[in-house]
Amino acid sequence: MSPADLVRQLQWRYAVKKFDSSRKIPPATWKALEQSLVLAPSSWGLQPWKFIVAQDPALRTKLLAASYKQPQIVDASHLVVFAYRKDLCVADVERYVRYTAKVRGVEETTLESFKKVLLSWLSQAGKGLDINNWAFNQVYIALGTFLTAAAVLGIDTCPMEGIDPNKYDEILDLAKEGYRTAVAATAGYRSADDKYAATPKVRYPIEEIIGRC
């Protein structure tokens, strides 16, 4: 993609207030957006997250009540709930190292020093490191990745921070697997009468946002 095309897509993106509920994202496009989640970068590559694609209308209606009734929750083609791994622990590191060895076709013992680095980092949890904040932050990388990937593909989105994460956890029964809701995002196609589509984007002048030294 050319730099000019990228900027055009990012300029075009905005937080959709009203989706056209009759339009669905084609399967191949949605698959690519799921891949943007799977392939999103995370610190150490640990992937301390899970993404729930909530398509069942009855479930969406329940989530709507936990989202200050923002209509995007039910109107958008797709809804993704971004959950973070709660209390990431030694077992998670072991699982990751084991899986890395499998993917790379090497003995786990060859990853011993990498594992030690990870465990030494993790041993700071509760001291210098807030492991749940850390996991929450990683999820926001995935959120940025998803919104940008969608913009590049010409798919409309709206990040949804205005949700009740505790109620989401309950409705989606996330706690039993050790995850907690961080944020959500909706994706689809704007309604022709979403007035925000034509509203100029508000961005501080580049000199105020970007420092140079």
Binding mask 112-151 for a copy of itself (x = CB under 8 A): ---------------------x--xxx-xxxxxxxxxx--
CA 143/CA 145 separation, integer angstroms: 5
Q: Please select the residue that binds a copy of itself; options are 23, 152, 170, 178, rule is CB under 8 A.
A: 152
Binds a copy of itself by CB under 8 A, chosen from 61, 65, 104, 110: 104
The amino acid present at 16, given as its one-letter code, is V
- Pick one of 21, 23, 24, 32: the residue that binds a copy of itself (CB under 8 A): 32
Taking the complex as a whole, how short is the minimal distance between the CB of residue 124 and a copy of itself, in angstroms? 12
Is 17 a binding residue for a copy of itself by CB under 8 A? The answer is no
Smallest distance, Å, CB 48 to a copy of itself?
A: 11
DSSP assigned state of 129: B
DSSP codes of every residue in 135-179: HHHHHHHHHHHHHHHHHHTT-EEEEE--S-HHHHHHHHT-GGGTE
User: Taking a C-beta distance cutoff of 8 angstroms, is the pair 42, 138 a contact?
Assistant: yes
Residue 40 binding a copy of itself, by CB under 8 A:
yes
